[in-house]
Amino acid sequence: MNKSAFEHLVRAYSGELYRFAYWQCRDRGVAEDLVQETFARAWNARAQLRDAAMVKPWLYRILRNEHARLHEKKSLPIDDTELSELPISDGVDLERDYAVREQLAMLSPQYREPLLMQTLGGFSCAEIAETMGIGQDAVMQRLTRARLALRRLWLGEALGTSKEKTS
């Protein structure tokens, strides 16, 4: 991949990667740093990309690894005030939108991450599975559990409880 092709790649995916990084860390500066580091690592590892059609999952995998590396170094404080500033809606019902953002933030990362990859990134279950290094069945299970948890939160139920007994 030459410099011009890589610059096109940066322009094509930087906004999308930033949104995903921001949802992961909830800090604009950290999200920007994660995206920059993602592209720096992608540039250094560009020879490893065998299939150009797989560039999007490849970039997301690098970003996920960078985010994990960040947490290995230190635990960052989470600033939820910036989460409300992220424009993800049409602005028609701001109260509802804020509630959805708050509820998404309450999900555990193992459920929030594949849901965000699907909704913000447009990934298929197969792409999410490859990016996260888990099976498609596990992805579908996590997506289902994330949606159920969001539904419970929306209805005002606690996440750790359920009205139905499961076996």
Q: What dihedral do alpha carbons 143, 146, 148, 150 form, nearest 10°? A: -140
pLDDT of residue 78: 43
Contact 97, 122 (CB under 8 A): no
- CATH assignment of the domain containing 59: 1.10.1740.10
Structural domain of 103: 87-162
Tokens of 165: 């007994």
CA distance 76 to 138: 28
pLDDT of residue 36: 93
pLDDT of residue 97: 65
Of the candidates 115, 94, 86, 110, the one whose C-alpha atom is nearest the C-alpha of residue 22 is 86
Query: Which of 28, 55, 77 is the last residue in one of the domains?
Result: 77
pTM, to two decimals: 0.56
Residues 92 and 65 in one domain: no
DSSP state of 132: H
Residues 5 and 73 in one domain: yes
Tokens of 132: 């996260």
pLDDT of residue 141: 94
| Residue 165, helix vs strand vs coil | coil
pLDDT of residue 163: 45
Residue type, 80: D
**pLDDT tens digits in sequence order for the chain, 167 residues long:** 788 888 998 999 999 999 988 888 888 999 999 999 999 999 999 888 888 888 888 898 899 888 888 766 544 344 444 444 544 555 556 666 667 777 787 888 888 889 888 888 888 888 888 888 899 999 999 999 988 888 888 777 766 544 443 33
CA distance 142 to 11: 31
pLDDT of residue 139: 92
Residues 157 and 106 in one domain: yes
DSSP state of 75: P
